[in-house]
């Protein structure tokens, strides 16, 4: 078998800026040991997020040049709507400026105080928009999702017993929708099987409930169904995508992920009456129905991006690049979450740095070591992100302290993956010398990870 190769070549380059460790020490100190506060020129390889960081194709760039900026009835909106309807089967499409805006518009119609929204580990903004309306998000993900060492091909699946239980406990009148996230970002880009989606549909039909997909990474989810689920190996990605969406009544989308564009989102729906109700909020919050916070050229690029994201060649190289990095780390003995997710590799920081106390932010300590070692920027998914308990104000220590290496779409090459793996390998070799972490000197009352300031506890051998 031949190794995979990126199915594109580079036409325009963006220089990356190498730096010395002494410079990085200065910069990260100035940034108060918060990786979000670095300037992008101070970062060599940026694995902070895959959101809006992808590279567009020549076809997308040329679509941008012919974008139609008409306020109403834009041809670019029609192109985007046509692609979305063709892929999903949903006839009604509302553009929004990004994914969270789609949530805001749709939940303005569906979710009210006292409601319960079950799902599989809701994304932060989804949960935020539910809780903002004084409703509750209930996580029904299978138990295997929370065990990095357990193998399960579809760790994003909903546990049908837990879901049924939510309906039994609260009654269907308090459950405006079931939200299924594809792939499940919050637990590491883990997919949901078609078998599970069909079971959710069946349960929803029994209770007369609505199913909405948070579909940011729907194409990556389809790739995993094709490659892991029995009976789908010979089906095309497009066929699988259509079958997935047939299990829901509609979707919210962050186009910054599998739309392969830098900004944008949308809602797509089966029901005309729901579309009409949502339209009012779309005009109020986002913009008129045929642009909703997007420019014509952005919608044109999105129409093309969605087509590319659902092609086998693209998806195979995308997911295999992520897995390639995972394999490189694994071969060095570095503890990583398995199976590998679709958009990121998660390094288990507690197992990597067992001598750093969790009170000293062990995942952040590892992410900072990686930056100092190599200029690679990753992101902490641990105690800093989990924030404090709103009542006791004590730190919430999640069971897993992770460093997420998030791979932007079509941006980096295999050499870059090798560089990241080598940098983490160097740190792994001297891990016994790393025995202390950081303490907080400033934090805001909420969402602290973006603006928190830290200082070294001391004792780190550099
Ligand atoms: C990114 C994301 C969102 C929010 O989308 P934005 O475009 O960042 O507003 C919602 N759900 C999931 C699963 C996401 O990954």
Dihedral of the CA atoms 33, 37, 39, 43 (nearest 10)?
Answer: 50
Distance 217 CA to ligand 1 centre (A): 9
pLDDT cut 70: percent of the chain above it: 99
- Which residue segment(s) compose the domain that 384 sits in? 21-50+312-456
- Pair (326, 266) in one structural domain: no
In a domain, 5, yes or no: no
Are 111 and 135 in contact, with CB atoms under 8 Å apart?
A: yes
Structure tokens at 119: 């799902």
- Pair (159, 246) in one structural domain: yes
Distance 41 CA to ligand 1 centre (A): 25
- Pair (45, 63) in one structural domain: no
- Pair (210, 280) in one structural domain: yes
Looking at ligand 1, which atom is closest to the CA of residue 52?
7
Q: Cis omega before residue 339 (within 30°)? A: yes
Alpha-carbon distance of 442 to 259, in angstroms, equals 37
Total residues found in the chain within this entry? 462
Alpha-carbon distance of 376 to 248, in angstroms, equals 39
Looking at ligand 1, which atom is closest to the CA of residue 184?
13
pTM of the model: 0.94
pLDDT in tens, 15-60: 999 999 999 999 999 999 999 999 999 999 999 999 999 999 999 9
In a domain, 63, yes or no: yes
pLDDT in tens, the chain (462 residues): 888 889 999 999 999 999 999 999 999 999 999 999 999 999 999 999 999 999 999 999 999 999 999 999 999 999 999 999 999 999 999 999 999 999 999 999 999 999 999 999 999 889 889 999 999 999 999 998 887 778 899 999 999 999 999 999 999 999 999 999 999 988 888 999 999 999 999 999 999 999 999 999 999 999 999 999 999 999 999 999 999 999 999 999 999 999 999 999 999 999 999 999 999 999 999 999 999 999 999 999 999 999 999 999 999 999 999 999 999 999 999 999 999 999 999 999 999 999 999 999 999 999 999 999 999 999 999 999 888 887 888 888 888 899 999 999 999 999 999 999 999 999 999 999 999 999 999 998 878 889 999 999 975 444
In a domain, 14, yes or no: no
Whichever domain contains 30, its CATH number is 3.90.1150.10
Residue to probe by mutation, ligand 1, list 53, 257, 286, 298, most atoms within 8 Å of CB: 257
Q: Is 286 exposed, middle or buried (0-12, 13-18, 19+ CB in 10 A)?
A: buried
Are 449 and 384 in contact, with CB atoms under 8 Å apart?
A: yes
Domains identified in the chain, total number? 2
Distance 285 CA to ligand 1 centre (A): 17
- For residue 267, give the 3-state DSSP assignment: strand
- Pair (269, 174) in one structural domain: yes
- Pair (125, 239) in one structural domain: yes
Distance 216 CA to ligand 1 centre (A): 6
- Pair (158, 290) in one structural domain: yes
- Pair (291, 220) in one structural domain: yes
% helix, strand, coil for the chain, step of 5: 45, 15, 40
Are 207 and 222 in contact, with CB atoms under 8 Å apart?
A: no
Whichever domain contains 112, its CATH number is 3.40.640.10
Active site residues: 71, 123-124, 214, 216, 257, 449
Ligand 1 site, residue 127, Cβ cutoff 6 A: no
In a domain, 8, yes or no: no
Q: Tell which of 245, 274, 309 closes a domain.
A: 309
In a domain, 1, yes or no: no
Interacting residues of 87 by C-beta distance below 8 A, sequence separation 6+: 238, 241, 242, 245, 306, 310
Looking at ligand 1, which atom is closest to the CA of residue 256?
7
- Pair (349, 414) in one structural domain: yes
Q: Tell which of 309, 336, 365 closes a domain.
A: 309
In a domain, 448, yes or no: yes
**Cα Dmax for the chain:** 63
Question: Is the torsion defined by CA of 200, 205, 209, 213 positive or negative?
Answer: positive
Write the DSSP string, 398-461: -S--EEEEE--TT---HHHHHHHHHHHHHHHHTGGG----EEEEE--SSSGGGT-EEEE-S---
- Pair (294, 331) in one structural domain: no
In a domain, 244, yes or no: yes
In a domain, 11, yes or no: no
Closest CA to 74 of 88, 95, 59: 95
What is the 8-class DSSP label of residue 54? P
Q: Tell which of 276, 309, 342 closes a domain.
A: 309
Q: How far apart are the first and last CA of the chain?
A: 42
- Pair (40, 94) in one structural domain: no
Are 300 and 73 in contact, with CB atoms under 8 Å apart?
A: no
- Pair (228, 337) in one structural domain: no
């Amino acid at each position: 078998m031949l190794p995979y190769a990126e199915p594109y070549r580079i036409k325009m380059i963006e220089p990356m800026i190498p730096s010395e460790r002494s410079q990085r020490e200065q910069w990260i100190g100035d940034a108060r040991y918060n990786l979000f506060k670095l300037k992008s020129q101070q970062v060599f390889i940026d694995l902070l997020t895959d959101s809006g960081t992808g590279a567009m194709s020549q076809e997308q760039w040329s679509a941008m040049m012919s974008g139609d900026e008409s306020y109403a009835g834009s041809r670019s909106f029609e192109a985007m709507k046509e692609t979305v309807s063709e892929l999903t089967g949903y006839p009604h499409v509302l553009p929004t400026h990004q994914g969270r805006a789609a949530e805001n518009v749709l939940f303005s119609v569906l979710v009210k105080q006292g409601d319960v929204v079950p799902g599989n580990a809701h994304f932060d903004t989804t949960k935020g928009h539910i809780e903002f309306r004084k409703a509750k998000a209930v996580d029904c993900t299978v138990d295997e999702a929370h065990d990095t060492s357990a193998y399960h091909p579809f760790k994003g699946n909903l546990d049908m017993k837990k879901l049924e239980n939510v309906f039994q406990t609260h009654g269907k009148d308090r459950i405006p929708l079931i939200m299924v996230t594809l792939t499940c970002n919050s637990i590491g880009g883990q997919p949901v099987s078609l078998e599970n989606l069909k079971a959710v549909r069946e349960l929803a039909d029994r209770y007369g409930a609505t199913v909405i997909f948070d579909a940011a990474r729907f194409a990556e989810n389809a790739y995993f169904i094709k490659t892991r689920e029995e009976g789908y190996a010979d089906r095309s990605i497009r066929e699988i995508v259509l079958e997935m969406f047939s299990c829901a009544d509609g979707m919210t989308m962050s186009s910054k992920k599998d739309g392969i564009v830098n900004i944008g989102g949308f809602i797509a729906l089966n029901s005309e009456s729901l579309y009409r109700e949502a339209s009012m909020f779309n005009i109020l919050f986002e913009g008129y129905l045929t642009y909703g916070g997007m420019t014509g050229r952005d919608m044109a690029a999105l129409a093309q991006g969605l087509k590319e994201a659902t092609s086998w060649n693209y998806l195979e190289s995308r997911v295999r690049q992520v897995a390639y990095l995972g394999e490189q780390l694994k071969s060095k003995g570095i503890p990583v979450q398995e199976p590998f997710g679709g958009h990121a590799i998660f390094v288990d920081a507690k197992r990597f740095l067992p001598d750093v106390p969790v009170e000293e932010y062990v995942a952040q300590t590892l992410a900072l070591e990686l930056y100092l070692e190599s200029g690679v920027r990753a992101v902490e998914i641990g105690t800093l992100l989990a924030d404090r308990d709103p009542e006791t104000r004590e730190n919430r220590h999640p069971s897993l302290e992770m460093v997420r290496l998030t791979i932007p779409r079509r941006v980096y090459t295999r050499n870059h993956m090798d560089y990241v793996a080598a940098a983490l390998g160097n740190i792994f070799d001297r891990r016994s010398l790393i025995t202390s972490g950081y303490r907080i000197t400033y934090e805001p009352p909420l969402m602290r990870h973006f603006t928190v300031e830290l200082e070294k506890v001391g004792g780190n051998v550099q």
